[in-house]
Amino acid sequence: MARVAAFKLALTSFLFAALFTGVEPVAAKGPSGGPADAVEATVSLSELPLQGRKTFELIRQGGPFPYQKDGSVFFNRERLLPSNKRGYWREYTVETPGSRDRGARRIVCGGKPRLPDACYYTADHYASFRKIVEP
């Protein structure tokens, strides 16, 4: 019991010290100025879930899209995608089976709507992206 109390005291002390020193973690920067692993990861089109491949095909066809927000401007607030002018990035929903709403999966494409320069897949609602590469 004394060990548990000592451990809790040590952990609490460490957390308070980290909190009050004002030290913030520093993320590694990649070549575009964003996080180092932001756009380095890739996923092949064939590796996307079936719903992702369907969404990608709809993007290439210009729709029609099942969700009203599909094709809306993605602002890249997380700064995980390469910087570009406002309106360059557009987001599209990748359906999530069993989800009551749009879910967390998206494809974000930049450039012309039917012939985008690049597309990225996120399965975690913009926390990370993988560039979609075609064979």
40 a catalytic residue = no
Q: Among residues 40, 47, 57, 125, which one is catalytic?
A: 125
The span from the CA of 127 to the CA of 61, in Å, is 27
With respect to CATH, is domain 28-133 assigned 3.10.450.30? yes
Give catalytic status of residue 78 as yes or no.
no
Please, which residues have CB within 8 angstroms of residue 103's CB and are 6 or more apart in sequence?
93, 94, 95, 96
Give the active site residue among 47, 91, 95, 134: 91
CB 93 within 8 A of CB 103: yes
Q: pLDDT means per 10 residues in the chain (135 residues)?
A: 53 44 39 48 96 97 95 95 95 94 96 93 96 91
Q: What is the pTM of this model?
A: 0.71
Strand partners, 109: 90, 119
Spell out the residues 6+ positions from residue 123 whose beta carbon is closer than 8 angstroms to its own: 104, 105
